[in-house]
Amino acid sequence: MTDSGLGGEISVGNVVTYKIGLHSLTFCLIGYLVGKFARSAYHENYLSITIYSLLITFITRLATYYLFSLFFHENMSYSLFFTSLFNALIAPAFFYALTWIYQLDHMGDA
């Protein structure tokens, strides 16, 4: 929800528009790069998942902030670190749940 205020601009007719395309662009690029290069680094190591989540979320937030500043205006209340920390804290539980739901540990046994 920290991004809900980012990009809201009052346009013609007092309609508030959001620049969600910048978020989509950065999430798409970072997701592609992570899938392309970090796939081999995932070995159910929850410490590395935490560190990767912290770093990648921080890089994504930083890229989104700079793109927004480049195209529109600076947003001094944009959270970089706390969102990254929150994602890093919940990422191991999320990965554990997905591994358990889809039983990814047994994929090599088939």
Q: In this predicted model, what pLDDT tens digit does every residue of 28-62 receive, in sequence order?
A: 888 888 888 776 666 668 888 888 889 989 998 89
* Residue 1 placed within a domain: no
Only one residue has tokens 């600076």, namely: 74
Position with higher pLDDT, 103 vs 44: 103
| pLDDT at residue 6, as a whole number | 54
End-to-end CA separation in angstroms for the chain: 41
Is 42 domain-assigned? Answer: yes
57 half-sphere exposure, CB direction, 13 A CA radius: 19
- Report the C-alpha dihedral over residues 53, 71, 73, 79, rounded to 10 degrees: 0
Task: Identify the domain containing residue 95 by its residue range.
Answer: 9-109
Q: Is 15 helix (H, G, I), strand (E, B) or coil?
A: coil
In a domain? residue 2: no
Q: Over 90: is that where the pLDDT of 80 sits?
A: no
Tell me: pLDDT of 12 over 70.
Answer: no
Has residue 96 been placed in a domain? yes
Residue 1: which pLDDT band, with cuts at 50, 70 and 90? very low
**Sequence-separated (6 or more) residues with CB below 8 Å from residue 77:** 5
Task: Please tell me the pTM assigned to this model.
Answer: 0.69
Q: Is residue 97 part of a domain?
A: yes
User: What is the count of structural domains for the chain?
Assistant: 1
Q: Which helix (H) or strand (E) holds 16?
A: strand 16-17
- Give the dihedral of Cα atoms 52, 58, 61, 67; nearest 10 deg: -100
